[in-house]
């Protein structure tokens, strides 16, 4: 079982490492460079509007289904019919809510046309995740790992042909990007249905009201948390586009910095997916979670610190490399946003721990306050500081959410604070920050190119973390060991 777990984890990480960075920095970035900040900014705002509310499409169905079918595979046919019907009902509710909000905040014409396709795409994404929950419940882990990137591979192929294949006489249009997503998601949906068809006896779409109501009632606190977090993570670009004259251009600039943060967050999300069953298993068996929390900090927050500081101190060079301009407006937004990866990484540890513990009331209270902070500060700062103000608000909100979750976890689990370890960790942060400041102010004096200087800075940070004994990659073995125990259970 342990070998199976490690093999499937390695495959999942490998396929995502091969595909998703190229998607983010090869295709998505190239499309923005081709269509311009204005067109991409409008797409980015509409995409985030469709994404914020996509929890309405699921309401915890996927997680419920994964647990239930894993334990009772013979129920697949019966539950598939009921849950598919429920997802179609939720899709109608999601579409009504999304378009109502879009009309209230002033979207019209071509914007609504694009939003229609984006809403359909979100439904397909949600349906794919549901299909994958059945595939993993059937222990088809390798199939699921490949399914996790099929849509991206197809989009890479379609968009590459449209961008560089000289198959059209007109310049690439942002609408083509949206349609490419639709085709890729449809193909992936069909593939998922083909994989499952041999395990489903008869497909009769029927809605069981009692069954559906029980699922919705059980999953509501989790769905509410995801919805609130989606608001304070994704509403920035919408408010930039709506509050500023010509705001689509500023939203496009904001998207440039957000793209790198989003790429980093993808892999933190995979790590959190590994932690959730571990924490759930340990809490169930009344084991103390302190050791795994410390290991998680070493494995996730220390790299997050090094990555964020490196990108911050070399923000102008990175933006110039990615987007071929030395715009201080864009690079400063990126520098502020990437620092948010540190509290986001913290949230993926402590938020996951509290979710595994079922501390939903505390988490939802925290998320509601964070959403209020985010929207309130954005209303004040965006008109004054444009997208830079939104970046400051994003960082402030993420810091509040992370610190709140750490505080809640300390109270709930009664963690004892190791003061020497905290002081050592704080000293490490101060040293690498001061070292980064020195390098940033003197990098033009170095006789080598900036990316070599950045690499040296990263290596020095890693060496320092090792000397301070706050970064121990071998700790991953202990996390795998705990997960293997959970798999056996």
Q: Are 1 and 484 in contact (CB under 8 A)?
A: yes
Taking the mean position of all CA atoms in its chain, how far away is CA 370?
17
For residue 475, what pLDDT is reported? 55
C-alpha 385/C-alpha 479 separation (Å) is 43
Q: What pLDDT does residue 46 have?
A: 96
pLDDT at residue 1, rounded to an integer: 41
Q: What is the DSSP letter of 417?
A: P
Q: Is the CB of residue 485 less than 8 Å from the CB of residue 278?
A: no
Q: How far apart are CA 237 and CA 32, in angstroms?
A: 15
- Spatial neighbors of 111 by CB under 8 A, at least 6 apart, are 42, 46, 102
**Ordered per-residue pLDDT tens for the chain, 489 residues:** 445 545 565 666 677 777 878 888 889 999 999 999 999 999 999 999 999 988 899 887 877 776 667 666 666 777 787 888 889 999 999 999 999 999 999 999 999 999 999 999 999 999 998 898 888 777 777 787 788 889 999 999 999 999 998 888 888 999 999 999 999 999 999 999 998 887 777 667 777 788 788 878 878 888 889 899 999 999 999 999 999 998 999 999 999 999 999 888 887 887 777 777 778 778 888 888 888 888 888 888 999 999 999 999 999 999 999 987 767 899 999 999 999 999 999 999 999 899 888 899 999 999 999 999 999 999 999 999 999 999 999 999 999 999 999 999 999 998 888 888 889 999 999 999 999 999 998 888 888 899 999 999 999 999 999 898 887 666 555 555 555 555 444
* Coil, helix or strand at residue 356: helix
Q: Which residues of 4-18 are buried (b: 16+ CB within 10 A; e: fewer)?
A: ebeebbebbeebbee
23 Cβ contact list (under 8 Å, min separation 6) = 152, 155, 156
* CA separation, residue 378 to residues 113, 310, 402 (Å): 27, 27, 19
What is the model's pLDDT at position 488? 41
What distance in Å separates the CA atoms of residue 245 and residue 358, rounded to the nearest whole number?
44
pLDDT at 439: 93
Cα 291 to Cα 465: distance, rounded to the nearest angstrom: 18
Is residue 79 within 8 A of residue 140, CB to CB? The reply is no
* DSSP-H helix ranges across 53-109: 61-71, 76-104
Q: What is the pLDDT of residue 483?
A: 55
What pLDDT is attached to residue 134? Answer: 83
Dig out the tokens for 444 from the structure.
Answer: 């033009």
**Calpha distance 71→84 (Å, rounded):** 20
Q: How many CA atoms lie within 13 A of 213 on its CB side?
A: 3
Would you list the DSSP string of 12-64?
HHHHHHHHHHHIIIIIIHHHHHHH-HHHHHHHHHHHHHHHHTGGGGTTTHHHH
Residues 6+ apart with CB under 8 A from 240: 41, 45, 247, 250, 251, 254, 382, 386, 387, 390
CA 454 – CA 263 distance, rounded (Å) = 19
DSSP designation for 198? T
Residue 103 buriedness (CB in 10 A; 0-12 / 13-18 / 19+): exposed
CB neighbour list of residue 192: distance below 8 Å, 6 or more residues apart: 128, 131, 132, 135, 147
Alpha carbon distance 415, 408 (integer Å): 10
What count of Cα atoms within 13 Å lies in the side-chain half-sphere of residue 311? 27
Check if the beta carbon of residue 52 is closer than 8 Å to that of residue 231.
Answer: yes
């Amino acid at each position: 079982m342990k070998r199976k777990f490690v093999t499937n984890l390695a495959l999942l990480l490998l396929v995502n490492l091969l595909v998703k960075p190229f998607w983010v920095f090869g295709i998505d970035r190239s499309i923005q460079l081709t269509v311009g900040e204005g067109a991409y900014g409008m797409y980015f705002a509409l995409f985030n509007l469709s994404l914020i509310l996509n929890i309405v499409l699921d309401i915890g169905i996927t997680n419920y289904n994964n647990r239930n079918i894993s334990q009772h595979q013979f129920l697949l046919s019966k539950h598939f019919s009921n849950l598919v019907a429920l997802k179609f009902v939720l899709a109608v509710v999601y579409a009504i809510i999304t378009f109502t909000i879009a009309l209230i905040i002033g979207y019209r014409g071509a914007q609504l046309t694009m939003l229609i396709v984006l809403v359909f795409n979100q439904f397909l994404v949600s349906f794919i995740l549901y299909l994958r929950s059945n595939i993993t419940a059937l222990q088809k882990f390798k199939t699921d790992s490949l399914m996790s990137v099929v849509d991206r591979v197809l989009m890479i192929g379609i968009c590459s042909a449209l961008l560089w294949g000289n198959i059209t006489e007109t310049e690439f249009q942002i609408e083509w990007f949206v349609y490419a997503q639709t085709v890729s998601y449809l193909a992936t949906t069909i593939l998922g249905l083909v994989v499952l068809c041999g395990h489903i006896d008869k497909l009769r779409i029927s809605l069981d009201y009692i069954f559906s109501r029980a699922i919705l009632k059980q999953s509501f606190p989790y769905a509410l948390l995801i919805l609130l977090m989606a608001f304070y993570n994704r509403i920035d670009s919408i408010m930039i586009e709506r509050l500023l004259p010509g705001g689509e251009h500023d939203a496009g600039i904001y998207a440039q910095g957000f793209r790198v943060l989003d790429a980093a967050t993808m892999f933190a999300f995979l790590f959190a997916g590994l932690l959730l069953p571990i924490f759930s298993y340990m809490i169930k068996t009344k084991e103390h979670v302190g050791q795994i929390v410390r290991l998680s900090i070493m494995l996730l927050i220390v790299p997050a610190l090094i990555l964020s500081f490196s990108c911050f101190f070399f923000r102008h060079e990175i933006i110039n490399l990615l987007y071929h301009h030395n715009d201080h407006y864009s690079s400063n937004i990126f520098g502020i946003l990437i620092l948010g990866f540190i509290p986001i990484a913290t949230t993926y540890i402590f938020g996951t721990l509290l979710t595994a513990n079922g501390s939903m009331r505390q988490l939802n209270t925290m998320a509601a306050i964070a959403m209020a902070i985010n929207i309130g500060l954005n209303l004040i700062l965006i008109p004054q500081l444009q997208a830079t103000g939104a970046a400051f608000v994003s960082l402030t909100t993420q810091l509040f959410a992370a610190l709140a979750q750490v505080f809640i976890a300390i109270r709930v689990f009664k963690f004892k604070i190791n003061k020497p370890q905290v002081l050592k960790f704080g000293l490490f942060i101060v040293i690498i920050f001061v070292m980064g400041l020195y390098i940033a102010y003197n990098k033009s004096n170095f006789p080598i190119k900036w990316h070599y200087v950045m690499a040296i800075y990263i290596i020095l940070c890693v060496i320092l973390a090792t000397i301070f004994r706050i970064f121990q990659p071998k700790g991953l073995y202990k996390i795998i060991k705990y997960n293997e125990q959970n798999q056996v259970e």
